[in-house]
Each structure stands twice: as structure tokens, then as C-alpha cells.
Homo-oligomer: A and B are copies of this chain.
Amino acid sequence: MESKLQVVYRLTVPVEEQGAFARALLLEQTVETPEEVALRVPAVRERLMGEIVELEPLEGGGARLALQLPVETAAVDPAQFLNVLFGNASLHDQVLLEDFELPPTLMAHFPGPRFGIEGVRKWLGVPDRPLTASALKPVGLSMDELVVLCRSLAEGGIDLIKDDHYWGDHSFAPFEQRVRRCQEVVQEVSARAGRRIVYAPSLSGTPSEVLRQAEIAQRYGVGAVLVAPMLLGLPFFYELVTRYLEVPVLAHPSFAGAQRIRPETLLGKLFRLFGADMVIFPSFGGRFSYSRATCRKLAEQARRPWGAYRPALPLPAGGMQVERARELIEFFGRDVMLLIGGSLLRAHPGPELTARARALVESVVEAAAALSNSDAI
């Protein structure tokens, strides 16, 4: 049991078909041949078949299916891990990936967050209170407009200022120039304010382009980077994190929602497993439709004790209002970074935006002071 990968699927299959479907899915995720073909090879029969651990019909219909799958195939590389977890299974409309548990042998193959919540807090010099973040957008701003925007947010006291995820190496704000100038701004404001403000550029493109951007960004001394793991591919995200990044990484959920994987499992757990220090997700009460329960579970998955992995910092986002800071902190607790873009950016860059950012930061400090010592979630 301890040496197997345990995966839980939710099946929307009529009760009379569940047994056969479960056996077929077990074959699909392991040997992908008729059972008789697999059984006639001793090494396969003994080590690579997996087994059904639980098949429980659910009240509202469908079933919960737990499989144990062989580590021999899942551990061989990060792409194979995903393949065993949900490769062909994803092609079945009736299957949802609900959750998974790794045995220690498999955990050793994954980095988890390199900084985690504690590391990010140390990095930013904010030991205790909830953190704030905002975004440089819309894409299409000129370099000078970007710089004014970045300065306004930095002077307002926002902890982390990230690129919008639509930024690439655009002619109107080339990557290197963008990084140089935004980083200059946050360093200058940081020096004056006597505390660290982090600028996180968005890395985007093919692997060679992303590695080029990562090198430039780190050379200019950025304090973090933004990456969308599902756009770039999780195996590349793994390599980027384990081999190339020296700074914390924020994971953006772009292209991730379409996966028939529970959001708390994909964003809260898989992204953490692959090394995200901070996980951005669309929170309840914004432009997206994740429920409060989903958001609670997602934050829980990101922060709960899990093997030797550091906790990842949840960043509720996607249409969060400045005025909701207190509510969000009461819900998510101290170990959270509020990522607020549009609601801040309604204010014009310059003194108006700086003041609005400052008001946000103050309301976060107040809300944190009002929190009981235990986290809200």
C-alpha cells in the first residue's frame, strides 16, 4: 500500500456499470491492454497492474473510485506521473480526478515549493500579516505608462507587483526593458521605504524563450516570477523550478480551468507538488464561479502539512475588490496574499492610485489585527 500511488476518481456512471468501468479504468491507467495480455507476463502481473482499493456508489448517483497505481511507471519522469494520474482517464467524460496521495518514494521525486509561505514572508520581510499583490495591466501600455503604474502601486505599499499574464516580449514593451525599468522602480521605492517590494515579471513562450527570460529577470534582480504551469506544461514547470529559478514562483491558473480535475487538487495540490510557492486562483465573489467551499479546500490543500513539502501561499484573485479585504482575510486568514488588480487600477496612476493602494494596505493591517490568533479557515 505504502509504495503505490493512490488516485481517487469520481465516476458519473450508472451503478450497474460501475464495476466494469472501474476495472477498465484500472487497465487504462496501467497496462492499456486487454487484461489477458497483461496477465501473461509475470513482471507485469506482479508489479504494474495496480488495483481497485475502493468503489463506492454515491447517493446522488455515480461512484467514488480509489485506485492504487504502480510507482514504477509514475516515478519515471514528471510527464509519466501525469500520464498515470490522469492521462487517458482524462479522455473519458465520465471521469473526474478528485484527489491523489503519494507514497514517500514518489514524494522524493518532487520538489514542492522551494520557499513556501515562510520563505516568501522572510523574502518580503513580512512575518505575520496578510500580504497584498497587484498587477501591471492592461497589456498595451507603453513603457513610460507601465513605470508610472508600477511606481504608484509600489509607493502605495503593495508587497508584490506582478505583470499581467498577457505580457510577452512585446514590441511596445520588450521583456528586458520592462524588467529593467520596473525592477529599478521597485528597488528605488524599496530603498526609500526601507522594506522589500517585489516585482514579478511574467515568463511566457517556448522553453528556450522562458529560460532566456528567467535568466534576464534574475540578472536584473527581480524578487519573484509569474508562470502559468498549464500553459507551459507541468513537466517544463518542474524543470524550470528545480533547475533554473532562484526566486519564488507565482503560479497563474491560465488554461488550467478546462481540466476535468477538481480545482483544489489541480491548483492547490498539483501546483504545490510541482513547486509553486504562491498559487493564484479565482476566488469566490469575483468574476469566476469557484464556490466558497472550493476556495476553502484549495487554500487548505496549498497550506496543510504535507510530507516534507513547504506550504504554498494562496492568492485569491479574479475580480477581488479593495473593499472586500477584510472579508477575504477573515475567510482565508493570515497566510494569504490578496491579489487585486482592476479594483485598484480604476484609480488613475499617480497619487490617486498610490492612495488607493495605501488604503488597501491599511485595511489589510487592520483586518489582520482584528483576527484571532488562529487562522480563519
A-to-B contact residues, CB < 8 Å: 24, 28, 30-34, 36-38, 40-41, 43-44, 47-48, 72-73, 76-80, 82-84, 86-88, 90-94, 97, 137-142, 145, 164-166, 168-170, 172, 204-210, 228, 231-236, 238-239, 243, 253-261, 282, 287-289, 318, 341-343, 345-346, 348
Contact = CB atoms under 8 A, between A and B. Distances in A.
Contact of A346 (B36, B78, B84, B261): B36
Nearest to A76: B168
Contact of A166 (B32, B236, B238, B254): B32
Contact of A288 (B38, B83, B92, B210): B92
A46 to B, nearest CB: 9
B239 A342 contact: no
Given A32-B137, A77-B209, A82-B255, 14 more contacts: A32-B166, A33-B345, A38-B138, A38-B140, A43-B140, A76-B169, A78-B206, A79-B204, A80-B166, A84-B166, A91-B253, A206-B238, A231-B233, A231-B235
21 contacts: A31-B166, A32-B164, A33-B138, A37-B345, A41-B140, A41-B141, A47-B140, A48-B139, A73-B168, A76-B169, A77-B169, A78-B206, A80-B166, A87-B255, A91-B254, A91-B318, A92-B289, A97-B258, A208-B239, A231-B233, A232-B233
Nearest to A348: B40
Contact of A261 (B231, B258, B289, B342): B258
A142 B205 CA distance: 39
A256 B43 contact: no
B166 A231 contact: no
A34 B259 CA distance: 27
Given A138-B38, A254-B88, A239 B206 contact: yes
A137 to B, nearest CB: 5
B79 A228 contact: yes
Contacts of A83: 165-166, 204, 228, 231, 254-255
A79 B231 contact: yes
Contacts of A288: 91-92
Nearest to A80: B168
Contacts of A258: 86, 90-91, 97, 258-261
A83 B92 CA distance: 25
Contacts of A256: 90-91
A240 to B, nearest CB: 9
Contacts of A289: 92-94
B235 A87 contact: no
